[in-house]
Amino acid sequence: MKTILVTGTNKGIGLEFARQYLNEGFKVIATCRNLSKLDGLNGLVNSFPDKISIYQMELLDEKSIEDFSLGIKDIPIDIFINNAGVTFGYSRNAKLSNTGISLNKLNAFGHIQTENWLPIFKANCIAPLLLAQLLYKNIMLGKEKKMVFISSKPASISENTGGSMYMSRSSRSALNQVIKSLSIDLLGEGISVASISPGWVKTDSGGLNALIDVNTSVTGIRNVIENLTIKNSGKFWDYNGEFIPW
């Protein structure tokens, strides 16, 4: 039985990954940053008590990442999906921050502040690599040997015609560069690596105006993961199987 590790599984795309893989008979290791806020995961725990295990993991806390890695010991992981992350700039109805400024506005020229940018960069770019380093031993024990990082189409520099979204675009463009290096460094180990955009998806991050639902996004990404091999490692995919220019 294959084992999938998915981060950020209490809601949205991460929860849908857990749901679809469990229904397909996989074992799922699911991380959440707040174990008292499992949200939709509670239903999956009731339906698949022997196939799902849940761990706490906060991307902004290195000790939490290390504790998680120690907690799963030497469990073989076939597919690692780095899903947890932050998206700013899609939802027109983004919640107001405690300063009263729209979260989208915080991502716009004239409003950028270091204190807002750094945690996004850490969660979207630095923490995924730290996690990959710690999970390397588990991936090497798995059969599939796949590392998948949920990125975002606005990370593409050549497709940036809309401007703005400074924090989300830059953190994911940097993540894409990390993914490319990782794919080269891990080629000899037989680990295939992919950057995948989920599309514009109706979730808390994507907002109500988004174009697709979580089922469409995750079904597409699972097909991409199925087609991921060492030969096409190190590419930037769209959820529908097309390649996105860097």
The residue with tokens 């981060």 is 7
Q: Which run of H or E residues covers position 185?
A: helix 166-185
12 binds ligand NAP (CB under 6 A): yes
Residue 238: which of 125, 154, 132 has the closest Cα? Answer: 154
Classify residue 139 as exposed, middle or buried by CB count within 10 Å of its CB (0-12, 13-18, 19+).
buried
Q: Does 205 bind ligand NAP (CB under 6 A)?
A: yes
Q: Which positions ≥6 away from 153 have C-beta within 8 Å? A: 159, 197, 199, 200, 238, 244
Q: Which residues 29-58 are close enough to bind ligand NAP by CB under 6 A?
A: 33-34, 58
- In the complex, least distance from residue 105 CB atom to ligand NAP, rounded to whole angstroms: 18
Q: Scanning residues 183 to 202, which ones bind ligand NAP (CB under 6 A)? A: 198, 200-201
Question: Any contact of residue 210 with ligand NAP (CB under 6 A)?
Answer: yes
Pick between residue 85 and residue 229 the one whose CB is nearest to ligand NAP: 85
Interface with ligand NAP (CB under 6 A), residue from 90, 121, 237, 239: 90
Contact between 14 and ligand NAP per CB under 6 A: yes
3-state secondary structure of 150: strand
User: Contact residues for ligand NAP (CB under 6 A)?
Assistant: 8, 10-14, 33-34, 58-60, 83-87, 90, 123, 150, 152, 198, 200-201, 203-206, 210
